[in-house]
Chains A and B, each alone.
Chain A
Amino acid sequence: MVPWIFALAVTLPAAADAASPAPAAATAAAEDIDEIARALGADKQAAEAAQPEAPQAQAGAAGAAAFNPELSFVGDVAGAYFSDEPAQLGAHDPNHTGFTFRQLELGVRSNVDPYFRFESFIVFTAEGVEVEEAVAATTSLPANLQLRAGKFFTAFGRINNRHPHAWEFIDAPLVTATFFGMHGNGGVGVEPSVLVPLPWYTEVVASVIEPDADAIEPFAVEDTEIERFDRLMYMTAVKQFWDLGSDWGLGLGVSGLQGPGPMLGDRTYVGGVDMHLKYRPVSGGDDSSSVVLQGEWLGRRRTVADLVSRDSGYYAQLTYHWDRRWSAGVRTERLSAQSPVLELHEDEGEDEHGHTHVEVPGDHARLREAVQLTFAPTEFSQLRLQQNRDRIPGRDEPLWGTMLNLEIAIGAHGAHSY
């Protein structure tokens, strides 16, 4: 609490003065402060005198290791077969026939002090090392507020800020990987959020980030220097959740963002809705079984040079866990156009802004279906087999992909988001 009060006191001196209970208290303050300073000085000396005994009592291996952050490693390796030239979009997707070292993710977590918590995910791949997330979050802001700052994935939709090991399928959805780039929507910035005081869960999240030029092609900026605010990306999301009895839960989200396009002056707008419906018979049935229906729809409007392009896509998936170890799922996806391929219709004129509107015919949609079967011996290991059928515009034959992924998790026990 104290630093926030201090910050308020510094930024709002007039308000702080006004808040003083009575003028008498203000005039007495000077003498009081002298007294307080003397007392604090005496306390400090006393504390220093008492110091030598305390560390000795705490000494030992446990004392030295006590403040080490929590560490965890998640490793993913996959074998895959593709019937034709692969066209996977996610950064960690198996992307060729053969074996893929998808990632080794080092998670580092710790409370910093009574005011901040820190969390970082450092990802090792065949290409090198990348800090995917490194973010500090406040823990004690008033009014249900939280502020996060650092490098992070935004809270857009449902799957974007979840790491691949929390997904129900091996590869990233087409729509998010296309609209947000291979890694997802993230960058360096700040994210204020608030838990709205309503009887049901309602969280409003906003973020302002500088998009990561390397990782996020759709928003890549030519020069990384932010000279104008329109080179930043602004995201807002509202997330709600309702308990429908003890066995059912429904989550709904609405998200929107705007950010820079590929060239200076270009703008990109993305809107999305997401839903998550889960049935788990915790009130007396088989507690280890569950059925989850999850989907997201995203639409995008871009100005690229003089053109306005619109595209959209969705994924919808159904996952069934029939016991603690076994689960299976189906997923269907549609991406309306293979961005950034734009087809110009000659007969369409320019609008009042001088933009040429582009309609992409529906048969250019990319469609992909997947089924998966998962065996997880414990919470710490998992084997997943997935079969994709991918119908890509411009190809005569569907692309068939078969993937088998092994995942291990060691170190600190991670907690699972809903």
Chain B
Amino acid sequence: MKKPFFLVCAFLMLAAPAFAEVRVAATIPTLAALAREVGGAQVTVEALSLPTQDPHFVDARPSLAVTLNRADLLVMAGLQLEIGWLPVLQNGARNPKILPGGDGLLDCSTVAKLKEVATGPVDRAKGDIHPGGNPHYLTDPQNAKLCAAAIAAALARIDAAHAAEYRKNAQAFSADLDAKIAGWEKRMAAVRGASVVVYHRSWIYLLDWLGLSEVGSLEPKPGIPPTPSHIAKLLGDMRAKNAKIILQESFYPDATSHLLADKTGATVIEIPGGPAAGKTYADWMDDLLNRIRTAATKP
């Protein structure tokens, strides 16, 4: 019994140099996609959650602690988005690098431009609020650029030998995204001012960027499921403001959204919370904007 175990350990030790590249773990698929673009061939990136999963309620599966155990860099969204599950994994991972204060922990909210930062007293009677700001900041491509640059800086610190490459990748990503942003803004100018209903208040960055107006959210308060009286009021508001779009991540329930759509003629857009496997941030944004434009221009 002991001998095979020893051999396995020895094999793992010998095998280790073959995987000498930098290992990155990202809490959400969008951050994983950014890390892949910036890291290029030098890094392997694992996302701790799927685009079909609500990032507030990820299970702290022990297998994720194994991923974090081997990670050189943990990229997180911060602002308490992952507070219900990430601390358990960090504490179980036996990896001081990815603990608070470690070299390999990057909280992207420290570099993003944030909205809805609480200025007065905070109170959970207002729902599941995030006092540090709305954590869904990656729906604004400007924030994606800032996060990509921060990931490049973190990778450069960890793997100085390839620092120039990471910076170059981040610059290329940024330049490419700038060109795309210009195209997106041009394309979306036609629907500027359109009224949108959201399920959870996770789209404020996108709506502000594109000049869309939020009529309301299906959740009466963040994290609280729709109630009949609130939906009745929302229905009135949608009709008054001619809201043509109901926007929600695919992991939220959609029965109420479809009911509202049937009654108002609006289109329900259900989009994964981030890029699917093999897709880039720009792919995801492109898909999202196309669907918004189509829905908003529908006669």
B is bound to A? yes
- What chain A residues lie within 8 Å of B88 (beta carbons)? 415-418
CB < 8 Å: which of A200, A243, A323, A413 contacts B84?
A413
CB < 8 Å: which of B9, B53, B223 contacts A282?
B53
> Does A249 interact with chain B (Cβ within 8 Å)?
yes
- What chain A residues lie within 8 Å of B49 (beta carbons)? 282
A117 touches B54 (CB 8 A): no
A117 touches B128 (CB 8 A): no
- What chain A residues lie within 8 Å of B253 (beta carbons)? 286, 288, 323
Q: Which residue of the partner chain B has the closest CB to A195?
A: B94
Q: Which residue of the partner chain B has the closest CB to A241?
A: B62
Contact with B along A383-418 (1 / 0, CB 8 A): 000000000000000000000000000100111111
> Does B61 interact with chain A (Cβ within 8 Å)?
yes
- What chain B residues lie within 8 Å of A198 (beta carbons)? 8
Alpha-carbon separation in the docked complex, A146 to B92 (Å): 9
A117 touches B91 (CB 8 A): yes
- What chain B residues lie within 8 Å of A117 (beta carbons)? 91
> Does A379 interact with chain B (Cβ within 8 Å)?
yes
> Does A3 interact with chain B (Cβ within 8 Å)?
no
- What chain B residues lie within 8 Å of A146 (beta carbons)? 94
Q: Which residue of the partner chain A has the closest CB to B91?
A: A117
B86 touches A288 (CB 8 A): no
Main secondary structure of the interface of B (DSSP, over half): loop
Q: Which residue of the partner chain B has the closest CB to A286?
A: B253
Alpha-carbon separation in the docked complex, A249 to B65 (Å): 14
Interface size of B by CB at 8 A reads 39
Binds A, one of B95-103, B148-156, B160-168, B205-213: B95-103
CB < 8 Å: which of A201, A284, A323 contacts B62?
A201
The smallest C-beta distance from B220 to any residue of chain A, in angstroms, reads 12
A287 touches B53 (CB 8 A): yes
A415 touches B62 (CB 8 A): no
Interface residues of B in 65-117 (CB under 8 A from A): 65-66, 69, 80, 83-88, 91-94, 96, 99-101
- What chain A residues lie within 8 Å of B54 (beta carbons)? 287-288
Alpha-carbon separation in the docked complex, A144 to B12 (Å): 15
B59 touches A287 (CB 8 A): no
B86 touches A325 (CB 8 A): no
List residues of chain B with CB under 8 Å of any chain A CB: 8-9, 12, 49-50, 52-54, 57, 59-63, 65-66, 69, 80, 83-88, 91-94, 96, 99-101, 124, 128, 223-225, 251, 253
